[in-house]
Every structure is written in C-alpha cells, then in structure tokens.
Amino acid sequence: MKTTKNLFGLRMFTTFAILLFIISACKKDEEINTSDPNSKVATDYSISSHWLSIPATVYPVDVFYFYPTAWTNNDSLPKICAIDDSSMMVKAPEAFARQATVFSTVGNIYAPYYRQDNLSAVDRLNIIAGIPTLDAIAAFDYYIKNFNKSRPYILAGHSQGSNVLSSLLAGYMKDNPQVYARMIAAYVIGFPVTAEYFANNPHLKFAQGPDDTGVIISYNTQAPDVLPGVNPVLYGLVGKVINPITWTRDETVATTAQGLGSFMPVPPTNALMQVPQYADAKVDTTNGVLICSTADISLGYGLGIFHSYDYAFYYFNLRENAANRVQQFLQM
C-alpha cells in the first residue's frame, strides 16, 4: 500500500511538472510573438523569413541595409506594422532593388525585415525610436554574432531606415567599439544628422572627403526653391551634408558633367536603368540640404522634394565612392 501511494504521488508530481512546462512554454511563445506589431520584444532574427536578404559570401566586405518606409495603411492605426505585413513584403524588395543594389559590386548585402512606423503619426521620431529601432538593433546584433565573421562592413539606409541606423550608430556602436572599428562607412541618406547629434555622440564623425573611413555620409535632396520648413523629411532639423558627386562639403556646384550616372525609371516600361547623370548637386549648409537644380520638380514628393530619388540621382557616384572607401579601409 505504501508503494502504491508513492507511485500515485510520483505520477501527480510528474503531471504537475508537465503542466508547469506547458504553461511556461505557452507564456514564452506569447512573449516572443512578434505577429503583434506592438510587442516590446524584438523580432526573432534566427528565423530566416525575417530577413529580406541573406546573401552568399562572395566579397571580403559586407553591407547591412535598412529600407525606407515600405508599408501602406489608410487607417491611423496601427502605427506599427507586423513583421510579416503583406504590403511591406512587396515594397521592401522594391526599395532594395532601387537602393541597396548600389552596393552589389562592393559587398555581401544583408537586409532584415523590421517592424515600421507608418506615415500617419504626428510624433514619428519618438515612435521610430521605439519598436522599429528595437528590431533594427536586434537584427544587426544577430548579424554580427552569426553572419559577419569579423568582416569589415558598410551600413546603409534611407529615410526611416536611416533614422533607425542613426540610433544604432549612437547606441550600439558606443557600447561595442570593437564592432565599430570594422565599419567602413555608414550611408545615412534621407535623414538629417545634426551637429547636436555628433556633439552627443563624440565616438562618431561625419565624412570630410571621398577617402575617410569609419564615417557617416548623409544628405537630403531638394530643389532650389523649396522654402525652409516645408520639407517634411527634415523634421525641422538642419543636418550635415556632403556632396555625392564631388565628395566635398563646400557650396560649389557639382554639374551633371561631373557625375557618373543616375538610376532612373525609363519609359515606356519605367524599368530602372542607368542613364547619364540626371542631377547636379550643391551643398546648402544654412538649411542642411543638398540642392539639385536639374531635376523635374514633380518627381518624388512633388514641389521639388526629391526624397524618393536620394539614391537614384547619385546611384553610380555612390557605388564608386563605396568601392573607394572599401579600398582605403582594406589598405589600412
């Protein structure tokens, strides 16, 4: 009888332990469920479907790319999309084709999907500093620990992608100087990086010319007649600017004759193709923008805000510059 009681007790204990394990596992699954756009737990980047691009290793250098806002939503909510949002699954690869391919002759291009803010939020910068940045840093950290294999790398982004990239540079690189030491350059295009940003992050530096490494490159393109405060992608900020044709920071105009070519939609199919240099370039230090006087002002956002063409206008200039900075870094 004593033996029967002991067996009964053991069975009860075993059953209770199994129930605790199941409950614990379910709770864990709930905690890491990033199908909830507002989950404060970072997306799991060990899952391959959470990557837009995991390339074969061909080059001795990597590129890590964050795409711009790539999902559409007609409602004010949700402010953050799910990691598998159907519209983002379509638009993110399109952005990759327009922008990240600048670096396709330079490095192995990694690109994560990340949960994004939509365009409806009034307090966009604060929202992007939350979940989108959480995912961006988690993706980069996973890449460093699992894919990078200590190779030097380029960072690149545009618009919201450059916004989260600026946060990664400020925080993650400060905390991981050994990782920052392998950074060739960061193309933080389409989002202003200000003098205040650099004052708050003295470990970072802005590019001074075509050859320096470990630096940030940034500009926001618009027409000459756009009034101060009108361009919404500047968020009222005055950023540092470098000329993507001459790679100088003074206000000398770089003509189209000096450029290497643009990557533009060509009728009748509007397929993206190399065309002769479409855009000139002039740094406006007062307003913190790059002025282009040769483009049709109806492009992009209209009214001369060429945000959508920040990469396209200077595509082959960016490609040559990335190759040059890689060479400079590898020779160090």
Encoding tokens for residue 295?
């483009």
Under CATH, which number does the domain 39-221+307-330 receive? 3.40.50
Residue 94 has pLDDT above 70, yes or no: yes
- Give the model's confidence band at 37: pLDDT under 50 very low, under 70 low, under 90 confident, else very high: confident
Encoding tokens for residue 314?
């200077």
Helices assigned H by DSSP within the chain: 2-31, 86-98, 124-128, 131-146, 160-175, 177-180, 195-200, 315-330
* Phi and psi angles of residue 282, each rounded to the nearest 5 degrees, phi first: -145, 130
Residue 25 has pLDDT above 50, yes or no: no
295 CB-contact burial (10 Å; exposed 0-12 / middle 13-18 / buried 19+): buried
Going from the C-alpha of 229 to that of each of 166, 226, 236, the distances in angstroms are 22, 9, 6
Q: What is the pLDDT of residues 181-210, one digit of tens each?
A: 999 999 999 999 999 999 999 999 999 999
Encoding tokens for residue 144?
């460093």
**Amino acid 6: pLDDT:** 39
**Amino acid 24: pLDDT:** 34
> Of the candidates 102, 172, 117, which has an alpha carbon nearest to the alpha carbon of residue 140?
172
pTM surpassing 0.75? yes
Q: What is the mean pLDDT of residues 8-27?
A: 34
Distance between the two ends of the chain, CA-based, in angstroms?
80
Placement of tokens 């330079």 in the chain: 106
Count of helix runs (H) and strand runs (E) in the chain: 8, 11
Peptide bond into 268 cis (omega under 30): yes
- Give the model's confidence band at 131: pLDDT under 50 very low, under 70 low, under 90 confident, else very high: very high
**Amino acid 27: pLDDT:** 33
**Amino acid 269: pLDDT:** 94
Cα atoms in the 13 Å half-sphere on the side-chain side of 129? 6
Query: Is residue 330 within 8 Å of 60, Cβ to Cβ?
Result: yes
**Amino acid 121: pLDDT:** 62
Stronger pLDDT, 76 or 6, i.e. the higher one: 76
Phi-psi region of 58 (alpha: psi -120 to 50; beta: other; left: phi over 0): alpha
**Amino acid 123: pLDDT:** 84
Kindly state the percentage of the chain with pLDDT values over 70: 88
Going from the C-alpha of 317 to that of each of 163, 239, 257, 276, 309, the distances in angstroms are 22, 21, 12, 12, 13
Placement of tokens 């350059």 in the chain: 185
Least reliable range by pLDDT among 159-163, 243-247, 301-305:
301-305
Query: Is residue 310 within 8 Å of 158, Cβ to Cβ?
Result: yes
- Give the model's confidence band at 78: pLDDT under 50 very low, under 70 low, under 90 confident, else very high: confident
